[in-house]
Amino acid sequence: MAKDGDYAHPYIPHTGPAARKRMLAAVGVGSPAELYDAIPAALKLKRPLDLPPPIASEQALRRHVEGILARNKSCAELLNFRGAGCWQHYVPAICDEIASRGEFLTAYAGWSYSDHGKLQAIFEYQSLIGELVGLEVVSTPTYDWGAAANSAVAMACRLTGRKQILVPASMDRARLSQMHGFTKPFATVVEVAFDRKTGALDRRDLAAKLSADTAAVYLEVPSFLGIADAGAPDIVKRVHGKGALAVVGVDPSTLGVLEAPGNYGADLVVGDLQPLGIHMNGGGGQAGFIASRDEPRFVDEYPSFLISLVQAPDSGAFGFPGSPALGAGHVFFSGLDGKVYAFGL
């Protein structure tokens, strides 16, 4: 085995002896081992790790890794009909074609002057989701459906000044656990029973638990069990009758045949973007959204960026806030504390 400092890794740059010596000198240590001096001796292994010899050939390494992967089963060999958080969907080839275009490769951290392509893409996405759910304002993507639902019920608590959230007892246990953890500092989550025969929300139990302390009733159409409750419009009316807000969770791929929640009075709509063309993959494949009516009371509460086109006062041109077409401007977003912040560009 080569001595410490004499080995240059075939895949990792700047690992040659001279480069390593310069980097160690820059941080003021004589050897890599000194970088770990802060770790107590009792926690350090006193022997070398029992590892196989390194695979120095790229082709041999590829064969080795592919051999390990070949022992796995892929989700293509399985089939499910309901889904639970992340599941297989048919993804049209056009989705992959658009998502793999070069314009999206570096569009991550830039802003108005350098990233109009990203802003345009987000604006189009928000517009299309808005059409699906029947509402005008849509957030930039959240982490997942659970994150969107949690933020939406938190928005409802701030808007109403109340501290109770009613949810269906049939909802995804993982999403329910997330909501309990997220809202614990400021609200109480109460489950509403459902009809074991039809899967619909139990109207009597809802009426018994809906009160002047209810900030929001969260329901899902279709439900986690795959039931499309035809009484959702009536539930929304009951919720509004108590001065609470109706938050509806959806699988957006169903909205080609089901009524848009905004059309039957939902105040906030949340859901998962994975069904709309995101593949399942290790450590990813999730994203969510929040939507509402275009009213200041809702817009001021969004915990995310909102991308919008505005019209220049003189030229009549349209552009994103702060873009050259509009002159100097600001980007507005709402913080978790509910206050609206503006950044000049």
Cis bond upstream, residue 313 (ω within 30) = no
Between CA 286 and CA 293, with CA 288 as vertex, the angle to 5 degrees is: 170
Contacts of residue 305, defined as CB under 8 A and 6 or more positions apart, other chains included, come to 139, 140, 331, 333
Report H helices in the chain: 17-27, 58-69, 93-99, 116-133, 145-160, 173-183, 203-209, 232-241, 296-299
Report, at the CATH architecture level, how domain 115-299 is classified.
3-Layer(aba) Sandwich (3.40)
Span 206-213, average pLDDT: 95
pLDDT in tens, 277-326: 888 777 667 899 999 999 999 998 998 877 777 776 666 666 666 444 33
Q: Is 96 exposed, middle or buried (0-12, 13-18, 19+ CB in 10 A)?
A: exposed
Tell me the backbone φ, ψ of residue 290, rounded to 5 degrees: -125, 140
pLDDT in tens, 64-110: 999 998 888 776 666 665 556 677 777 888 888 887 877 666 555 55
**Count of CB atoms within 10 A of residue 72's CB?**
7
Q: By mean pLDDT, which of 60-74, 128-142, 181-195, 319-333 is the weakest?
A: 319-333
Q: Tokens representing 107?
A: 């569009």
- Going from N- to C-terminal start, the domains of the chain cover 1-45, 115-299, 310-344
pTM of the model: 0.71
Span 48-71, average pLDDT: 90
Specify the 3-state DSSP secondary structure of 310.
strand
Tell me the backbone φ, ψ of residue 288, rounded to 5 degrees: -130, 180
